[in-house]
Structure 1
């Protein structure tokens, strides 16, 4: 089996609950959304990068493993567009894995959910993705979250917030997750201030308000993109 992979590289995880962990990142090509804050917009091209087999990818991964290696990060683009390829990789190897997904493809997620160790599910806000109906998109994300909790996968919901993000909207999202997902153990919400952090020079107080509102319903952390502060990929 072959698929398009944009790049494979080793770096430090700069987001979410695995922040600071050394990972091998596999950036798959293509995405089904068009978010306005995307920092890997080139990866939206489904033909970007090399067409490689699972064997070729495994070879690349093994060449990059270091003594401090923790796990592989399956990212993109949207990696679930390559779910069958990922399934083959995970079934054949014992790497710990983090899936970074927009959560809009629960049917594809179902194929590999039981093989994953961690999932970062990026919940979109109405202002993030104007080409989709937000209620429908959020419904798909909720379905993916419930699926992951049924499988007891360590999951965090990442929400990229901007200075203009409405506090009430974050509260609504957090309350809906708490309402729909009965098992919220091993489930957190990571509030991620949009980069660059200079945008928050006059708005940092709002991050406290957002965190407090989300914290009424779900475990919450506020974490910026640390890899950008370290100037690494």
Structure 2
């Protein structure tokens, strides 16, 4: 049940519905997708230590040897939180649902509500731990940014996830085809029309460039014709140079 954890730290949530809220982040290794704009080194087996921020907001980073048990991970979350009130524990990656059994084992040992930041494709793994999580930040991955389309997996995932506090995020770039963005919008409208949709302009990386204001407004207009809750939110933590 022990897992390699990349890092545990406290900061503000920089993306999505709860942007600006104070959260503890726990980052796990590995991902089942390869997105062109990904800037996270989550390669499996490449993290002999878990880097833990000892004291919320201190930036005092201390290595702890991997792998780590669920009970020990919960203790390290408390060390990172250091008595500061936090809104949630955000489990991210990589793809956290590659570690569904670990998340399920961790949940009874943490006091904070658990939120998942996921690429929204591993629906069978979500079933294994959905009763342990309070909310889900689900990405829809456009085919132009990944190695293959995953529309069907997204539909199956969202059908399960919508029973929780779930919002959907689409990372969009200048290169994103209108047809792909439209398909993603229709997928949300058809599967979970009450969910919030967030269009996130890409932070330029891996050859991707940010979309123009005109593109963003046109995509939001399209989405608002089908969904009531549509926001445009960039990666605000990058703007603030925060962890």
Q: 1:171, 1:213 within 8 Å by CA — same for their partners in 2?
A: yes
Aligned partner (choices 223, 226, 235) of residue 214 of structure 1: 223
Any gaps of 5 or more consecutive residues in structure 1? Answer: none
- 1:160 corresponds to which residue? 171
Q: 1:83, CA displacement in angstroms?
A: 0.4
Which structure 2 residues correspond to residues 124-163 of structure 1 after superposition, within 5 A? 124-130=141-147, 132=148, 134=149, 137-149=150-162, 152-163=163-174
Q: 1:93, CA displacement in angstroms?
A: 3.3
Q: CA separation of 1:173/1:195 partners in 2, compared to 1, >3 Å: closer, same or farther? A: same
Q: 1:170, CA displacement in angstroms?
A: 1.6
Aligned partner (choices 69, 79, 82) of residue 96 of structure 2: 79
Aligned partner (choices 64, 67, 75) of residue 84 of structure 2: 67
Q: 1:180, CA displacement in angstroms?
A: 3.1
Q: Point out the structure with the larger helix share.
A: 1
- 1:28 corresponds to which residue? 28
Pick which of 191-200 and 219-228 moved more.
Answer: 191-200
Equivalent position SS for 1:82: helix
- 1:51 corresponds to which residue? 67
TM-score when normalising by structure 2: 0.86
Q: 1:79, 1:101 within 8 Å by CA — same for their partners in 2?
A: yes
Aligned partner (choices 199, 202, 205) of residue 194 of structure 1: 202
Q: CA RMSD in A?
A: 1.9
TM-score when normalising by structure 1: 0.89
Any gaps of 5 or more consecutive residues in structure 2? Answer: 50-65
